[in-house]
Amino acid sequence: MAPEERIAGASLEVRDLAVVYSDVIHALRGVTFSVPGGSIVALLGANGAGKTTVLRAATGLLPMHRGRTVRGGIELDGTPLGRRGAVDLVRAGVAQVMEGRRIFAPLTVEENLRTGAFSRTDRTAVAASRDRVLELFPDLRGRLDDVAGYLSGGQQQMLAIGRALMAGPRLLVLDEPSLGLAPLMVRQIRDAIVAINEAGTTVLLVEQNARMALAIADRGVVMATGRVALDGPADALLADPQVQASYLGGTVGEPLPDAVAQALPDTGEPA
Protein backbone atom coordinates (compact mmCIF):
# COMPACT_ATOMS: atom_id res chain seq x y z
CA MET A 1 0.00 0.00 0.00
CA ALA A 2 1.23 3.51 -0.77
CA PRO A 3 2.27 5.22 2.51
CA GLU A 4 0.11 8.29 1.78
CA GLU A 5 -2.94 6.00 1.93
CA ARG A 6 -2.45 5.40 5.67
CA ILE A 7 -5.47 7.11 7.20
CA ALA A 8 -6.20 8.42 10.70
CA GLY A 9 -9.71 7.09 11.33
CA ALA A 10 -12.29 9.58 12.60
CA SER A 11 -14.42 8.93 15.68
CA LEU A 12 -18.17 9.39 15.82
CA GLU A 13 -20.24 9.99 18.97
CA VAL A 14 -23.99 9.69 18.65
CA ARG A 15 -25.58 11.31 21.72
CA ASP A 16 -29.25 11.07 22.63
CA LEU A 17 -30.16 11.54 18.96
CA ALA A 18 -33.86 12.02 18.27
CA VAL A 19 -35.07 12.48 14.68
CA VAL A 20 -38.49 13.07 13.17
CA TYR A 21 -39.57 12.87 9.53
CA SER A 22 -42.09 15.33 8.16
CA ASP A 23 -42.56 16.59 11.76
CA VAL A 24 -44.67 13.54 12.66
CA ILE A 25 -42.77 10.27 12.32
CA HIS A 26 -40.49 9.67 15.31
CA ALA A 27 -37.77 7.54 13.70
CA LEU A 28 -35.14 7.91 16.46
CA ARG A 29 -36.13 8.37 20.09
CA GLY A 30 -32.80 9.04 21.81
CA VAL A 31 -29.95 7.01 20.35
CA THR A 32 -26.52 6.97 22.00
CA PHE A 33 -23.47 4.98 20.93
CA SER A 34 -19.79 5.46 20.01
CA VAL A 35 -17.79 4.60 16.94
CA PRO A 36 -14.16 4.83 18.12
CA GLY A 37 -11.58 6.03 15.58
CA GLY A 38 -10.13 3.11 13.60
CA SER A 39 -12.87 0.65 14.62
CA ILE A 40 -15.63 -1.18 12.76
CA VAL A 41 -19.06 -0.81 14.37
CA ALA A 42 -21.98 -2.88 13.08
CA LEU A 43 -25.42 -1.29 13.35
CA LEU A 44 -28.09 -3.98 13.38
CA GLY A 45 -31.83 -4.23 13.83
CA ALA A 46 -35.11 -5.14 12.18
CA ASN A 47 -36.59 -3.27 9.23
CA GLY A 48 -37.67 0.19 10.29
CA ALA A 49 -35.59 0.17 13.50
CA GLY A 50 -33.88 3.41 12.48
CA LYS A 51 -30.48 2.29 11.19
CA THR A 52 -30.62 4.21 7.91
CA THR A 53 -31.83 7.28 9.78
CA VAL A 54 -28.70 7.20 11.95
CA LEU A 55 -26.57 7.02 8.80
CA ARG A 56 -28.48 9.91 7.21
CA ALA A 57 -27.89 11.99 10.33
CA ALA A 58 -24.16 11.16 10.25
CA THR A 59 -23.80 12.07 6.56
CA GLY A 60 -25.91 15.24 6.44
CA LEU A 61 -28.69 13.70 4.37
CA LEU A 62 -31.65 14.07 6.76
CA PRO A 63 -33.02 17.28 5.20
CA MET A 64 -33.14 15.57 1.80
CA HIS A 65 -35.63 13.12 3.34
CA ARG A 66 -37.63 15.74 5.25
CA GLY A 67 -35.97 14.57 8.44
CA ARG A 68 -34.74 16.77 11.26
CA THR A 69 -32.90 16.35 14.54
CA VAL A 70 -35.13 17.33 17.44
CA ARG A 71 -32.80 16.39 20.28
CA GLY A 72 -29.18 15.41 20.81
CA GLY A 73 -26.67 15.19 18.00
CA ILE A 74 -23.53 13.67 16.55
CA GLU A 75 -19.89 14.61 17.05
CA LEU A 76 -17.14 13.89 14.55
CA ASP A 77 -13.76 13.82 16.28
CA GLY A 78 -15.34 15.68 19.20
CA THR A 79 -16.86 18.47 17.06
CA PRO A 80 -20.67 18.64 16.73
CA LEU A 81 -21.87 18.09 13.16
CA GLY A 82 -24.59 20.67 13.69
CA ARG A 83 -26.27 21.43 10.39
CA ARG A 84 -23.32 20.57 8.19
CA GLY A 85 -24.49 19.37 4.79
CA ALA A 86 -23.46 16.28 2.87
CA VAL A 87 -20.76 17.96 0.75
CA ASP A 88 -19.22 19.62 3.79
CA LEU A 89 -19.11 16.26 5.55
CA VAL A 90 -17.37 14.60 2.61
CA ARG A 91 -14.72 17.34 2.89
CA ALA A 92 -14.49 16.57 6.62
CA GLY A 93 -13.70 12.94 5.77
CA VAL A 94 -17.07 11.20 5.88
CA ALA A 95 -17.96 9.10 2.83
CA GLN A 96 -20.93 6.86 2.44
CA VAL A 97 -22.20 4.06 0.29
CA MET A 98 -25.96 4.22 0.23
CA GLU A 99 -28.21 1.19 0.07
CA GLY A 100 -28.87 -0.01 -3.45
CA ARG A 101 -25.50 0.69 -5.11
CA ARG A 102 -26.22 4.23 -6.26
CA ILE A 103 -23.63 4.38 -8.99
CA PHE A 104 -24.01 6.66 -12.01
CA ALA A 105 -25.20 4.00 -14.44
CA PRO A 106 -24.64 5.92 -17.72
CA LEU A 107 -21.07 6.92 -16.78
CA THR A 108 -18.05 4.68 -17.19
CA VAL A 109 -16.37 3.00 -14.23
CA GLU A 110 -13.46 5.46 -14.52
CA GLU A 111 -15.84 8.44 -14.55
CA ASN A 112 -17.70 7.09 -11.53
CA LEU A 113 -14.43 6.82 -9.64
CA ARG A 114 -13.49 10.36 -10.61
CA THR A 115 -16.76 11.75 -9.26
CA GLY A 116 -15.84 10.28 -5.88
CA ALA A 117 -12.77 12.52 -5.71
CA PHE A 118 -14.70 15.76 -6.32
CA SER A 119 -13.72 17.21 -2.95
CA ARG A 120 -9.95 16.68 -3.40
CA THR A 121 -7.35 18.80 -5.13
CA ASP A 122 -4.21 16.76 -4.42
CA ARG A 123 -3.78 14.79 -7.67
CA THR A 124 -1.09 12.53 -6.27
CA ALA A 125 -3.33 11.50 -3.39
CA VAL A 126 -6.25 10.94 -5.76
CA ALA A 127 -4.08 8.75 -8.00
CA ALA A 128 -2.97 6.78 -4.93
CA SER A 129 -6.61 6.26 -3.93
CA ARG A 130 -7.44 5.06 -7.45
CA ASP A 131 -4.55 2.58 -7.31
CA ARG A 132 -5.77 1.41 -3.95
CA VAL A 133 -9.35 0.91 -5.23
CA LEU A 134 -8.10 -1.19 -8.14
CA GLU A 135 -5.88 -3.17 -5.77
CA LEU A 136 -8.89 -3.88 -3.53
CA PHE A 137 -11.23 -4.62 -6.43
CA PRO A 138 -9.20 -6.12 -9.29
CA ASP A 139 -12.49 -6.94 -11.09
CA LEU A 140 -12.83 -3.22 -11.88
CA ARG A 141 -9.40 -2.96 -13.49
CA GLY A 142 -10.47 -4.41 -16.82
CA ARG A 143 -13.79 -2.57 -16.82
CA LEU A 144 -12.63 1.04 -16.43
CA ASP A 145 -13.99 2.16 -19.80
CA ASP A 146 -17.23 0.18 -19.52
CA VAL A 147 -20.54 1.81 -18.75
CA ALA A 148 -21.18 1.20 -15.05
CA GLY A 149 -24.80 0.18 -15.55
CA TYR A 150 -23.65 -2.98 -17.34
CA LEU A 151 -21.57 -4.26 -14.41
CA SER A 152 -22.84 -7.19 -12.34
CA GLY A 153 -24.53 -6.40 -9.03
CA GLY A 154 -21.38 -7.34 -7.11
CA GLN A 155 -19.17 -5.24 -9.35
CA GLN A 156 -21.55 -2.29 -8.96
CA GLN A 157 -21.22 -2.63 -5.19
CA MET A 158 -17.42 -2.70 -5.56
CA LEU A 159 -17.65 0.45 -7.67
CA ALA A 160 -19.93 2.14 -5.13
CA ILE A 161 -17.41 1.39 -2.37
CA GLY A 162 -14.51 2.32 -4.65
CA ARG A 163 -16.10 5.66 -5.45
CA ALA A 164 -16.53 6.39 -1.72
CA LEU A 165 -12.85 5.54 -1.18
CA MET A 166 -11.84 8.08 -3.82
CA ALA A 167 -12.75 10.77 -1.28
CA GLY A 168 -9.97 9.43 0.99
CA PRO A 169 -12.46 9.01 3.86
CA ARG A 170 -11.54 8.85 7.52
CA LEU A 171 -15.02 7.45 8.22
CA LEU A 172 -16.77 5.13 5.78
CA VAL A 173 -20.50 4.63 6.25
CA LEU A 174 -21.93 1.57 4.51
CA ASP A 175 -25.65 0.80 4.21
CA GLU A 176 -26.32 -2.88 3.47
CA PRO A 177 -23.28 -3.53 1.26
CA SER A 178 -24.02 -7.27 0.99
CA LEU A 179 -27.70 -6.91 0.09
CA GLY A 180 -28.72 -9.21 -2.75
CA LEU A 181 -25.18 -10.45 -3.46
CA ALA A 182 -24.04 -14.05 -3.99
CA PRO A 183 -21.93 -15.58 -1.16
CA LEU A 184 -18.66 -15.24 -3.09
CA MET A 185 -19.32 -11.54 -3.66
CA VAL A 186 -20.29 -11.08 -0.02
CA ARG A 187 -16.92 -12.53 0.98
CA GLN A 188 -15.06 -10.20 -1.39
CA ILE A 189 -16.93 -7.17 -0.08
CA ARG A 190 -16.31 -8.32 3.52
CA ASP A 191 -12.58 -8.75 2.87
CA ALA A 192 -12.43 -5.32 1.25
CA ILE A 193 -14.12 -3.71 4.28
CA VAL A 194 -11.56 -5.37 6.56
CA ALA A 195 -8.67 -4.17 4.36
CA ILE A 196 -10.08 -0.62 4.24
CA ASN A 197 -10.31 -0.61 8.03
CA GLU A 198 -6.82 -2.04 8.42
CA ALA A 199 -5.51 0.97 6.49
CA GLY A 200 -7.01 3.17 9.22
CA THR A 201 -10.49 4.19 8.08
CA THR A 202 -13.25 3.90 10.68
CA VAL A 203 -16.27 1.92 9.42
CA LEU A 204 -19.91 2.23 10.42
CA LEU A 205 -21.67 -0.72 8.85
CA VAL A 206 -25.41 -1.33 8.58
CA GLU A 207 -26.11 -4.92 7.60
CA GLN A 208 -29.00 -7.36 7.40
CA ASN A 209 -26.28 -10.02 7.30
CA ALA A 210 -25.64 -9.72 11.04
CA ARG A 211 -23.35 -12.72 11.15
CA MET A 212 -21.00 -11.26 8.55
CA ALA A 213 -21.14 -7.82 10.14
CA LEU A 214 -20.41 -9.03 13.67
CA ALA A 215 -17.67 -11.33 12.41
CA ILE A 216 -15.64 -8.34 11.21
CA ALA A 217 -16.83 -5.67 13.66
CA ASP A 218 -15.23 -4.60 16.95
CA ARG A 219 -18.59 -3.59 18.40
CA GLY A 220 -22.22 -4.15 17.57
CA VAL A 221 -25.16 -1.88 18.25
CA VAL A 222 -28.62 -3.42 17.95
CA MET A 223 -31.50 -1.00 17.38
CA ALA A 224 -35.21 -1.56 17.93
CA THR A 225 -37.97 0.99 17.29
CA GLY A 226 -35.70 4.00 17.25
CA ARG A 227 -33.65 3.08 20.29
CA VAL A 228 -30.51 1.14 21.13
CA ALA A 229 -31.54 -2.27 22.48
CA LEU A 230 -28.06 -3.77 22.84
CA ASP A 231 -24.53 -2.40 22.57
CA GLY A 232 -21.42 -4.45 23.16
CA PRO A 233 -18.32 -6.17 21.82
CA ALA A 234 -19.12 -7.99 18.56
CA ASP A 235 -18.00 -11.38 19.84
CA ALA A 236 -20.26 -11.04 22.92
CA LEU A 237 -23.22 -10.19 20.68
CA LEU A 238 -22.48 -13.15 18.42
CA ALA A 239 -22.72 -15.38 21.50
CA ASP A 240 -25.82 -13.61 22.91
CA PRO A 241 -28.91 -15.89 22.78
CA GLN A 242 -31.23 -12.91 22.17
CA VAL A 243 -29.13 -11.76 19.23
CA GLN A 244 -28.86 -15.31 17.93
CA ALA A 245 -32.62 -15.79 18.09
CA SER A 246 -33.49 -12.48 16.47
CA TYR A 247 -30.68 -11.75 14.04
CA LEU A 248 -28.53 -14.80 13.37
CA GLY A 249 -31.12 -17.46 12.69
CA GLY A 250 -31.78 -16.62 9.04
CA THR A 251 -34.69 -14.20 9.06
CA VAL A 252 -34.00 -10.76 10.41
CA GLY A 253 -35.66 -9.41 13.55
CA GLU A 254 -39.36 -9.17 14.13
CA PRO A 255 -40.66 -6.67 11.58
CA LEU A 256 -44.27 -6.92 12.66
CA PRO A 257 -43.88 -5.70 16.26
CA ASP A 258 -41.64 -2.88 15.02
CA ALA A 259 -44.15 -1.88 12.38
CA VAL A 260 -46.92 -1.93 14.95
CA ALA A 261 -44.86 0.07 17.44
CA GLN A 262 -43.98 2.66 14.79
CA ALA A 263 -47.64 3.11 13.95
CA LEU A 264 -48.51 3.96 17.56
CA PRO A 265 -48.52 7.60 18.65
CA ASP A 266 -45.29 8.70 20.34
CA THR A 267 -46.00 8.80 24.05
CA GLY A 268 -42.42 9.51 25.00
CA GLU A 269 -42.41 6.16 26.79
CA PRO A 270 -40.13 3.29 25.82
CA ALA A 271 -41.77 1.09 23.16
Q: Does 49 bind ligand ATP (CB under 6 A)?
A: yes
59-78 positions binding ligand ATP, by CB under 6 A: 65-66
Strands 67-76 and 12-21, bridge-based pairing: antiparallel
Q: How far is the CB of 18 from ligand ATP (least distance, A)?
A: 12
Cα 234 from Cα 215, distance rounded (Å): 7
| Only segment of 47-55, 80-88, 166-174, 238-246 that touches ligand ATP (CB under 6 A) | 47-55
| Only segment of 42-50, 150-158, 185-193, 197-205 that touches ligand ATP (CB under 6 A) | 42-50
Of 43 and 95, which has the nearer Cβ to ligand ATP? 43
| Only segment of 45-53, 134-142, 156-164, 187-195 that touches ligand ATP (CB under 6 A) | 45-53
Cα 56 from Cα 14, distance rounded (Å): 12
DSSP string, 188-224: HHHHHHHHHHHTT-EEEEE-S-HHHHHHH-SEEEEEE
Q: Does 262 bind ligand ATP (CB under 6 A)?
A: yes
The string over 143-164, giving b where at least 16 C-beta atoms fall within 10 Å of a residue's C-beta and e elsewhere, is beeeebeebeebbbbbbbbbbb
Q: Residues 6-25: x/- map of binding to ligand ATP (CB under 6 A)?
A: ---------------xx--x
Cα 124 from Cα 114, distance rounded (Å): 13
- Residue type present at position 172: L
Residues contributing to the site for ligand ATP (CB under 6 A)? 21-22, 25, 27, 45, 47-53, 65-66, 262
